[in-house]
Chains A and B, each alone.
Chain A
């Protein structure tokens, strides 16, 4: 049990007549870089939402670090150390880059403090500086987040998730809409982050998946089609079939 940071058992969810996720089991090993792939409509987003508590499962349960988090509200799941980076860039647009990250950094210890100025809490500001340094946004700390370039906003999105010191980081298509050079930089960053945080990600770009992930789960029509390492997935006939016929 202690080897697994996240364990989803028999997760099930339908919307109307569509069985979006049908009895999915998912085990994430501590320290791994686990990818979930599948054609559009295969249930990736629903699976993520079931894990984060955005959607209540029809059946099944989710355990995070040994604790049952099934149906727990999102902010409580986040507080336990599960952070999410969004597919559509989600930052606090009118706040500075520094404040964006600082908000996330203070959540661990000082969330409901109202009797002392936030800027004077040294451990939080120091942690914020470290995260900005690591993500490569230290130069733009004073910039209003809405003024950043698209690529930098995606990095900021990641920085906010990272600043909460998560134990599991969910990345929903981290390179969506990025230029090839930004994509390469992000792939490198994901590799670097994986040294101390477990990552669960989805991605459409197969080359990105095959170069970063150590375990890949292939979803198709709400069920797990196959799970294995990058090489096994690449050569698996059923996966090839789904990707050749299913995406059209």
Chain B
């Protein structure tokens, strides 16, 4: 995937500018933000909370954003394109749903099981998929997702097959001193705040990972795996750890989604492996916050367009094509390269 960015920069170079400025001023290396991304996410959450009229959509934006942000760890930071990221999301949904239905209504327990069980499963799936690189890796992830889909379809006694798991009870949230009921319909604000808190904590963890020595090695592997090995790194281990983290985050997002809808089934869960990629690419691969922008954009477009056009996907698809062609670094790259503070700094730097 990193090749795409390199190609763009050389493309810019042929327009007559000196190569140095081409790569710099072009979209190849978007601004890197660290902890500032947390503030941006908190700001975005507040804006979504006050402007999006449909609470279920507002909460969905945070959940999809989280899922997509975890995927971007693989895609943007690791250069590994997963076509099968529906698997961990759906697994997390089923795991949390089954916990709430049959074991306990504790939100913490359901989310913990969704996350941890997916992390364990990811070790196995990742170990197989990472035996190959590039497109072969992508195809293997897709194969696992398809495998999961058919198991979910056939194993009716556990997954409910075509009908899914309906009537998942409202979960309870134990906090020190109080016990709250996370009812997305009855008290959407509480559910929104809980989701936002979880998402912000997880994003903080992801940022710490990408800024840590190991996360930096991941980015070096994306740039040149052979050289990273030459520096003494077992590149497979770093990639596997990343794969597991991305899987666990998707599992958590799936669990939240099951709690939001009180339903898990084939319909949304298994069909979103492509959508979540679109969100990440649209939002921008250069940051962890970018995919949240992608999720907002995609879901708002969907909700507005689908009200007026039966074939709204056509329009979204066209917009996606235009976005990829005009700003391959996504909304994040677009914002950071045109934002006023960036321009200011460039003026100051050239002096």
Kindly specify which of A25-33, A112-120, A174-182, A215-223 makes contact with the partner chain: A112-120
Question: Contacting chain B: which of A72-80, A127-135, A183-191, A233-241?
Answer: A72-80
Alpha-carbon distance between A91 and B230 when the two chains are bound, in angstroms: 11
A106 within 8 A of B: yes
A21 vs B209: C-alpha distance in the bound complex, in angstroms? 44
- Of all chain B residues, the one with the shortest Cβ separation from A106 is B213
Does B208 sit within 8 A of A, measured CB to CB?
yes
Does B9 interact with chain A (Cβ within 8 Å)? Answer: yes
Segment among A10-18, A41-49, A93-101, A196-204 that sits at the interface with chain B: A93-101
Partner pick for B232 among A79, A113, A114, A119, CB 8 A cutoff: A79
Query: B82 → chain A, closest Cβ, in Å?
Result: 20
Q: Measured between C-beta atoms, what is the minimum distance from B80 to chain A in Å? A: 16
Are A83 and B230 closer than 8 Å at their CB atoms? yes
Q: What chain B residues lie within 8 Å of A147 (beta carbons)?
A: 19-20, 23-24
Query: Which residues of A lie under 8 Å from residue B237 when comparing CB positions?
Result: 112
Query: Is A138 positioned at the interface, with any CB of B under 8 Å from its CB?
Result: no
Q: Is the CB of A91 within 8 A of B227?
A: yes
Q: Is the CB of A90 within 8 A of B224?
A: yes
Determine the distance from Cα of A111 to Cα of B241 in the docked complex, in whole angstroms.
13
B214 lies within 8 A of A74 (CB): no
> What total count of A-B pairs have CB within 8 Å?
113
> Cβ of B327 < 8 Å from any Cβ of A?
no
Q: How far is the CA of A49 from the CA of B214 in the complex (A)?
A: 27
Tell me how far the C-beta of B269 lies from the nearest C-beta in chain A, rounded to whole angstroms.
29
Closest Cβ neighbor of B21 among chain A residues: A147
Contacting pair B229 A111 (CB below 8 A):
no
A121 — which chain B residues lie within 8 A by C-beta?
A: 213
Inter-subunit contact B211/A118 (CB<8 Å): yes
A75/B213 contact (C-beta < 8 A), A90-B224, A90-B227, A95-B219 known: no
B223 at the interface (CB under 8 A from A): yes
Q: Which chain B residues border A111 with CB–CB below 8 Å? A: 213-214, 217, 232-233
Residues of A within 8 A of B227 (CB): 86, 90-92, 160
Interchain CB contact under 8 A, B215 and A75: no
Across the interface, do B228 and A103 meet the contact criterion of CB distance under 8 Å? yes
Known: A90-B226, A93-B223, A146-B23. A117 touches B208 (CB 8 A): yes
Contact assessment for A118 and B213 in the assembled complex, using a CB-CB cutoff below 8 Å: yes
Q: Would you call A155 an interface residue if the criterion is a C-beta within 8 Å of the partner chain's C-beta atoms?
A: no
* Residues of the A chain whose Cβ atoms lie less than 8 Å from the Cβ of B211: 117-119
Does B98 interact with chain A (Cβ within 8 Å)?
no
Q: Which residues of B contact A242 (CB under 8 A)?
A: none
Highest count of chain B CB atoms <10 Å: which of A78, A104, A117, A144: A117
Our pick among B20, B29, B212 for the contact of A118 (Cβ within 8 Å) is: B212
Q: With A93-B6, A118-B216 in contact, do A107 and B224 touch (Cβ < 8 Å)?
A: no
Contact across chains for A144 and B213 when beta carbons are under 8 A apart: no
A70 interface hit (Cβ, 8 Å):
no
B138, CB-defined interface residue at 8 Å: no
A84: contacting residue among B23, B228, B230, B234, CB under 8 A: B230
Name B's interface SS.
Answer: helix
Across-interface contacts of A76 in B (CB, < 8 A): 232
Distance between B316 CB and nearest chain A CB, rounded to angstroms: 30
Scoring B residues 10 to 50 as 1 if CB is less than 8 Å from chain A, else 0, what string do you get?
00000000011001100011000010000000000000000
User: Do A107 and B29 contact each other (CB < 8 Å), given the known contacts A93-B224, A144-B24?
Assistant: no
Question: Contact string, A132-168, partner B, CB cutoff 8 A, digits 1/0?
Answer: 0000000000011011000000000000110010000
Q: Contact residue range for chain A? A: 35 or more
Mask for B48-83, Cβ within 8 A of A = 1, else 0? 000000000000000000000000000000000000
Q: Is A110 an interface residue (CB 8 A)?
A: yes
Given contacts A119-B211, A144-B24, A147-B19, contact A94 B5 (CB under 8 A): yes
Q: Which of B29, B216, B231, B241 has the most CB of A within 10 A?
A: B231
Q: Which residue of A lies closest to B209 (CB)?
A: A114
State whether A75 touches B212 (Cβ < 8 A): no
Per-residue CB contact flags for chain B residues 170-209 toward chain A (1 = under 8 Å, else 0) read 0000000000000000000000000000000000000011
Q: What residue of chain A has the Cβ atom nearest to residue B224's Cβ?
A: A92
What's the nearest-Cβ distance from chain A to residue B24, in Å?
7
B2 at the interface (CB under 8 A from A): yes
B29 lies within 8 A of A144 (CB): yes
Q: Which residues of B contact A108 (CB under 8 A)?
A: 232
Q: Closest A residue to B221 by CB, please name it.
A: A92
Shortest beta-carbon distance, A48 to chain B, in Å? 12
Which residues does chain A contribute within 8 Å of B238, judged by CB atoms? 112
The CA-CA distance from A112 to B215 in the complex, in Å, is: 9
Q: Mind listing 18 A-B residue pairs with CB under 8 Å?
A: A75-B234, A76-B232, A78-B230, A90-B227, A91-B223, A91-B227, A92-B220, A92-B227, A103-B216, A103-B228, A107-B232, A113-B213, A114-B214, A115-B208, A117-B34, A121-B213, A146-B6, A164-B232
4 A-B pairs besides A94-B29, A144-B23 with CB distance below 8 A are: A93-B224, A111-B214, A114-B215, A160-B231
Report A's interface with B, CB cutoff 8 A: 74-76, 78-79, 83-84, 86, 90-95, 99, 102-104, 106-108, 110-119, 121, 124, 143-144, 146-147, 160-161, 164
Q: Which 5 A-B pairs have the closest CB atoms?
A: A92-B223, A79-B232, A78-B232, A114-B214, A107-B232
